[in-house]
Structure 1
Amino acid sequence: MSQPVLQVVVGSTRPGRKGLAVACWVQQLAEAHGGFDVELVDLAEVGLPVFDEPDHPRLQRYTHQHTRDWSAVVSRADAFVFVTPEYNHSFPAALKNALDYLHVEWADKAAALVSYGGVSAGLRAATALKPVLTSLRMVPVVEAATIPFFQQFLTEDGEFVPNDQLAAGGKAMLDELLRLTTALRTLRAAA
């Protein structure tokens, strides 16, 4: 059996965002982990408009090419790491929009969260995101990488360089993500 595909999803699309640097670190960490084939998915590049399909996503009757393209991207993944900042005690609208576009494609896949912010480390965003993921039948892992005062880990060049505790937390998150992904892959194959 081939390695599962892990998509690291950059949840922020705003100009000047730092989430891409955090996501690149997660991508490198996941590649070094060795348990996944890793893809970086940048919602700014995906460029979805505000949800514009006439039918409910569970029917998969997509009328727009951007939805069909997004469906193909998400369908090839076995697991996800959502990298999200905290905006006004929640996660970005672009991430919610991207999740709302699809339904079946998300089901029975494991999801991990990497949140970042100031003193809160983006935990309110992660807390708000979990019920959305479970309503789409994803399985959020308990282990997470939460990054307080994330700017301290950014170099002058904008690269994200974590400390040992963040790296260890990220590895534990990926270990659990792989364990659940393996089990859920079997479940999806049986369905």
Structure 2
Amino acid sequence: MAASVDAADAYVFVTPGYNFRPPPSLLNALKYVYKEVELQALVIVSYGGVSGGVHSALVEEITLTTLKMMPMVETVSEQNIARCIHANNNLVPTGHHLHGAESLLNESYK
């Protein structure tokens, strides 16, 4: 896993709202690859209920900066994600989601 992580130029972390903090599986994975991810750029996309996983994303950002990763200011938060899941379990984004994703991608391209 470390070799594939080391090969990337940047990272996108898609994080659920999980008891107001990042999921344990992500934190555990970071323990094994923190040397490979130091000083790398990343984006956080969070999802969940009313808050859209924002609390988890904030705690995750603190954790990642402690590991010397560089989270971008721009994020995408998907509130009430279940409402956007339609037939065949397809995600149908709203205008809010598309605008946030476009801003994030434009900034990460710089």
TM category, shorter = over 0.9
The alignment covers a number of residue pairs equal to: 110
Q: CA deviation at 1:155?
A: 1.1
Q: Which of 42, 46, 50 is 1:115 aligned to? A: 46
1:151 aligns with 82
Superposed counterparts of 1:1-20, under 5 Å: none
- Identify, as 1 or 2, the structure richer in strand: 2
After TM superposition, the structure 1 = structure 2 runs for residues 50-61 of structure 1, keeping only pairs within 5 Å, are none
Q: Is residue 173 of structure 1 aligned with residue 104 of structure 2?
A: yes
1:126 pairs with 2:34 = no
- How does the TM-score come out when normalised to structure 1? 0.56
The reply on whether 1:103 has 2:34 as its aligned counterpart is yes
1:177: how far off?
1.8
- Residue by residue over 1:110-131, the C-alpha shift from the partner in whole angstroms, topping out at 9 and shown as x without a partner, is 1111100111110010011001
CA contact (8 A) 1:145 1:166 kept: yes
Runs of 4+, deviation exceeding 2 Å: none
| Separation of aligned partners in 2, 1:135 and 1:176 | 23
Q: Which amino acid aligns with 1:166?
A: H
- TM-score in terms of structure 2 length: 0.94
Show CA shifts across 1:126-147 (max 9, x none).
0110011111211101111101
DSSP-derived class of the 2:98 partner? helix
Percent identical pairs in the alignment equals 37
Q: Does 1:135 align with 2:50?
A: no
The 2-side partners of 1:165 and 1:172 are apart by 11
- List alignment gaps of at least 5 residues for structure 1: 1-69, 180-191
Unpaired segments of 5 or more residues in structure 2? none
Task: Decide which structure has the larger Cα Rg and report it.
Answer: 1
Aligned Cα root-mean-square deviation (Å): 1.0
